[in-house]
Amino acid sequence: MYYNNTMETPRAKFKTYLQATAVEIEKELKKIEKELRKESTNDFGEIDKLKKRFSESWLGGKMLRGTLVKLGYELGYGKQIKAIWKPAAAFEILHTALLVHDDIIDQSTTRRGKLAMHVHPNNHYGISQAICLGDLGISLAGKLIAESDFPSKNKSQALAYFFEIVNQTILGEMMDVASSQRFERTEKQILEIHTMKTANYTLIGPLTLGAILAGAKAELLNKITLFAKPLGIAFQIQDDVMGVFGDEKVVGKSTTSDIEENKSTLLISYALEHANSQQKQLLNSYYGKKSVTKKELEIVKEIFRETGALRYSENKIKNLLKKPKMILPQMKIKEKEKNLLLDFIEMLVAREK
């Protein structure tokens, strides 16, 4: 672990960086929100209300993805810090847009303690408008990158890359939906979904986009992918473990929701592969059931423990986190950024939600 003169822990250093960057991104998002609300839809006041609700949902989050855009820009030795706020905000808008679509797919009625964007007394109307809002967010994010103050060559490469990340994420979502129709899934299939749906747009995408805008060469871009891919997969496996074994108040969602959605996780794939006939029968009864009781949740959790699925998932996270630490010394970046990336790994290891 690295320490500075004030003996601040690595985790605290990245946390400080994240908090300071989030303030600037939020300022940019408020400007964009103001501009979006200026574009009145005249005789359709309800659409203005929907846009307001959607744009307000950008605010108040951790701003992790936007922060990683800035950090990626600094990895590439970028110096126009004021110019990076717009692409950083764009990634946060993309994140919000994808969550709107995700809530429809998962049939989730709440998001961050509020009603999900698609929830409406007229179900079809609510879903239709939410799909459009998600599409609007994706389009707006691309527009913001196009309008950012960077050389045309860098912007062109960044835009092409941005929409490739969008495509990969959508395909990952489609794979996830397809896998939820199955009972047994392989580890290979699940890790591919984790790469496509989570690692790409949560870690690889924002870091690489920022580096591209800084004019980074292919060597650094490749190292960023090698660094961020295992970290992104570990992030999702950890999320899945917390989704079942975590504290609902801390995690912010029901610990039965992943089971009810028949979610494709390393926990379920490993458990099914190593379960005896009785355990498999119980999993068949409860995993994917529309309404899982607390007692049934405890039975599933116990099977995950007994089959070694929980231990295997935790060990997988530890092994995956070794890879970015091996890549980090090979990256030709400043010491400050190396320390921040190391701190970021430590923060992910320690996170509870």
3-state secondary structure of 111: strand
Comparing C-alpha atoms, which of 313, 316, 324, 315 is closest to residue 347? 324
- Give the dihedral of Cα atoms 168, 208, 71, 328; nearest 10 deg: 110
b/e sequence 258-278, b meaning 16+ C-beta within 10 Å: bbbbbbbbbbbbbbbbebeee
Do residues 201 and 165 lie in contact, with contact meaning Cβ atoms separated by under 8 Å? yes
Residue 329's CB: how many other CB atoms inside 10 A?
A: 7
- Give me the residues of the chain with pLDDT under 50, please: 1-8, 10
Do residues 129 and 50 lie in contact, with contact meaning Cβ atoms separated by under 8 Å? yes
The dotted CATH code for 10-350 is: 1.10.600.10
Query: What pLDDT sits at residue 352?
Result: 59
- What letter would DSSP give residue 307? T
Query: What pLDDT sits at residue 81?
Result: 94
Task: Characterise 301 by phi-psi region: left (phi > 0), alpha (psi -120 to 50), beta (else).
Answer: alpha
For the purposes of burial, counting CB atoms within 10 Å of the CB of 214, is it exposed (0-12), middle (13-18) or buried (19 or more)?
Answer: buried
* Residues with Cβ within 8 Å of residue 210, at least 6 apart in sequence: 68, 69, 70, 71, 72, 73, 74, 75, 76, 78, 84, 87, 88
Give the whole-angstrom CA distance, residue 143 versus residue 146: 5
| pTM of this structure | 0.90
3-state secondary structure of 21: helix
Could you report the per-residue pLDDT of 44-92, keeping only the tens digit for each?
Answer: 778 888 988 899 888 888 999 999 999 999 999 999 999 999 999 999 9
Q: Which amino acid is at 194?
A: H
Give the whole-angstrom CA distance, residue 324 versus residue 277: 39
Give the whole-angstrom CA distance, residue 125 versus residue 76: 45
Query: What pLDDT sits at residue 114?
Result: 81
Query: What pLDDT sits at residue 297?
Result: 95
Query: What pLDDT sits at residue 252?
Result: 67
Instruction: Indicate the angle between helix axes 309-327 and 335-350, nearest 10 degrees.
Output: 180
Comparing C-alpha atoms, which of 238, 278, 245, 247 is closest to residue 259? 245
Query: What pLDDT sits at residue 134?
Result: 95
Please state the domain extents for the chain.
10-350
